[in-house]
Amino acid sequence: VTRTKHGPATVYHKIQELIVENIKLGVLSIPPPLLTVVFQEMGHGMLMYHEGMQLVHVRFPFPYTATMEMLLLVITIITPVVFCGWTPGIAWPMVFTFILVFAFWSLHFTAAELENPFGDYANDLDMRQSQRDINARLVTLLQESGMTLPRLAVDIDTAQVSTESTLHHPSTLMNLDSVLRGHGHGEQGTARERREEALDASSN
């Protein structure tokens, strides 16, 4: 894989082959809808990969970049002349020229950095660290503790008896009653009882 030019596509194809082969062998004996989700997620990952590669291979149009740099050079040359004619002295034209020219060139270089976020510079995305994080997660899943299924510490009958005894405990019932009253259920019950008493009185 390391010798091929299209390593991610090769790995993606090999993983698909392994999944299909293990389906035939009965290793992946899970419902087909779940396997469909697996293929969908893998396809989505490859789609994101190709979109990221477009940032690397598809460059910003050179005529547009050259035009922007020429205009910035013109602004850099003309701005001090204009400010010298508008403001008296030397200090204020220097300050205004520096602020304006610095702002324009900063926006230009920021756009150039955002054009390709992949690289080895400090402002680029740290893809090596991202890969190390993914590898650490995969190693965690392959450990024995990650492959052990969670189970109840007691059997189901004991857990059911313990739950029922907790629910029927007087303190638990008092807490439930206070919660219901806090949400207005107690007032609704009182109003219902009053309506029933009024109906009984009218019928008598």
Q: Would you give per-residue pLDDT tens digits along the chain (204 residues)? A: 556 677 788 888 888 888 888 888 888 788 888 888 888 888 888 888 888 788 777 777 888 888 888 999 999 999 888 888 888 878 888 888 899 999 999 988 888 877 777 777 777 778 788 888 988 888 887 877 767 777 767 677 777 777 766 655 555 545 545 544 554 444 444 555 555 565 555 455
Q: Are residues 68 and 127 in the same domain?
A: yes
Instruction: Tell me what pLDDT residue 73 has.
Output: 92
Instruction: Tell me what pLDDT residue 176 has.
Output: 46
Domain count for the chain, please give it.
2
**Residue numbers of the domain that contains 39:** 1-58
| 146 within domain boundaries | no
Q: Are residues 100 and 137 in the same domain?
A: yes
| 65 within domain boundaries | yes
Of 11, 29, 58, which residue constitutes the final position of a domain?
58
| 170 within domain boundaries | no
Instruction: Tell me what pLDDT residue 190 has.
Output: 53
Q: Are residues 34 and 70 in the same domain?
A: no
| 148 within domain boundaries | no
Q: Are residues 117 and 90 in the same domain?
A: yes
Instruction: Tell me what pLDDT residue 91 has.
Output: 85
Q: Are residues 28 and 70 in the same domain?
A: no
Q: Are residues 100 and 124 in the same domain?
A: yes
| 27 within domain boundaries | yes
The DSSP-derived string for the chain is -TTSS-HHHHHHHHHHHHHHHHHHHTSS-S-HHHHHHHHHHHHHHHHHHHHHHHHHHSPPPHHHHHHHHHHHHHHHHHHHHHHHHHSSSSHHHHHHHHHHHHHHHHHHHHHHHHH--BSSSTTSB-HHHHHHHHHHHHHHHHSHHHHSPP--SS-HHHHHHHHHHHHTSHHHHHHHHHHHHHTTHHHHHHHHHHHHHHHHHHH-
| 29 within domain boundaries | yes
pTM for the model stands at 0.48
Q: Are residues 104 and 133 in the same domain?
A: yes
